[in-house]
């Protein structure tokens, strides 16, 4: 694959990741609502659900973190996409300058070629740094969603001791677990895409 095609592929991959993260953010908002609802039911259940309050608070915090992180990661993904387009423009300029230089030698063309090569090096450095940051942030969200699945099981077990609130709380635990799994799937698809962004 030529470098030019690589930049176009990078722009497409980054835009795809941004879309996945946008969808993950929307699911995180549903997770946040489910966590708030579970907190309200836990308060209504009173002393029977005392152990669930901490878990409900955890889910609320998790949802807030997921919303915040997905927004931050989405911004980085969009930035990577813009850098890929910028890189593509510089590559086209380099190719055209090389072609012009081959036809007729001019010292000003040589200067322009060097200047564009320096700009490409700077863009590639920013690109690598942004990709690394993106990978780290995706890992953070993924790890939080992994923990959420484990906590949902604990929530479900604790719900068995809430009497009449048990069916409602178990249903909420299922919803929370489902939303966490959806977010994790969007993150995993993003991670697979990002794995292709190597310079």
Per residue in 142-178, pLDDT tens?
A: 888 888 888 888 888 888 888 888 898 888 889 888 9
Q: Is residue 39 part of a domain?
A: yes
Q: Is-contact 178 23, C-beta < 8 A?
A: no
Q: Which residues contact 27 (CB under 8 A, 6 or more apart)?
A: 179, 182, 183, 186
Whether residue 199 is predicted with pLDDT greater than 70 in this model: the reply is no
Query: Distance between CA 198 and CA 91 in Å, rounded?
Result: 17
Instruction: Output the pLDDT for position 188.
Output: 92
Instruction: Output the pLDDT for position 189.
Output: 92
Q: Is residue 199 part of a domain?
A: no
Token representation of residue 48: 């029977």
Task: Report CA 169 to chain centroid distance, whole Å.
Answer: 29
Burial class (CB in 10 A: 0-12, 13-18, 19+), 22: middle
Burial 90-123 (b: 16+ CB within 10 A, else e): bbebbeebeeeeeeeeeeebeebbeebeebbeeb
Instruction: Output the pLDDT for position 185.
Output: 93
Q: Is residue 154 part of a domain?
A: yes
* Domain hosting residue 10, numbered range: 3-194
Q: What is the mean pLDDT of residues 170-198?
A: 87
Whether residue 41 is predicted with pLDDT greater than 60 in this model: the reply is yes
Q: Is residue 187 part of a domain?
A: yes
Number of structural domains the chain divides into: 1
Query: Distance between CA 80 and CA 130 in Å, rounded?
Result: 7
Q: Is residue 22 part of a domain?
A: yes
Instruction: Output the pLDDT for position 186.
Output: 92
Instruction: Output the pLDDT for position 86.
Output: 80
Instruction: Output the pLDDT for position 1.
Output: 44
Q: What is the mean pLDDT of residues 174-195?
A: 89
Bigger pLDDT: 81 vs 185:
185
Q: Which residues contact 31 (CB under 8 A, 6 or more apart)?
A: 59, 62, 63, 66, 176, 179, 180, 183
Residue 7: closest CA among 100, 107, 95: 95
Task: Report CA 173 to chain centroid distance, whole Å.
Answer: 24
Q: Which residues contact 18 (CB under 8 A, 6 or more apart)?
A: 74, 77, 78, 81
Residue pointed to by tokens 């320096």: 118
Q: Is residue 142 part of a domain?
A: yes
Residue pointed to by tokens 């292709």: 196
């Amino acid at each position: 694959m030529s470098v030019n095609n690589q930049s176009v592929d990078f722009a497409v991959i980054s835009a795809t990741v941004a879309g996945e993260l946008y969808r993950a953010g929307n699911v995180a908002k549903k997770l946040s609502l489910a966590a708030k609802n579970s907190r309200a039911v836990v308060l209504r259940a009173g002393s029977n659900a005392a152990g669930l309050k901490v878990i409900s608070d955890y889910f609320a915090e998790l949802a807030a973190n997921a919303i915040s992180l997905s927004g931050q990661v989405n911004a980085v993904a969009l930035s990577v996409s813009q850098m890929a387009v910028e890189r593509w423009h510089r590559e086209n300029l380099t190719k055209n300058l090389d072609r012009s230089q081959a036809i007729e030698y001019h010292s000003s063309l040589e200067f322009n070629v060097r200047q564009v090569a320096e700009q490409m090096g700077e863009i590639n450095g920013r690109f690598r740094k942004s990709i690394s940051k993106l990978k780290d942030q995706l890992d953070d969200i993924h790890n939080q969603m992994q923990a959420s699945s484990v906590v949902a099981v604990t929530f479900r077990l604790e719900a068995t001791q809430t009497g009449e609130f048990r069916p409602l709380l178990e249903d909420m635990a299922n919803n929370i677990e489902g939303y966490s799994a959806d977010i994790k799937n969007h993150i995993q698809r993003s991670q697979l895409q990002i794995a292709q962004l190597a310079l």
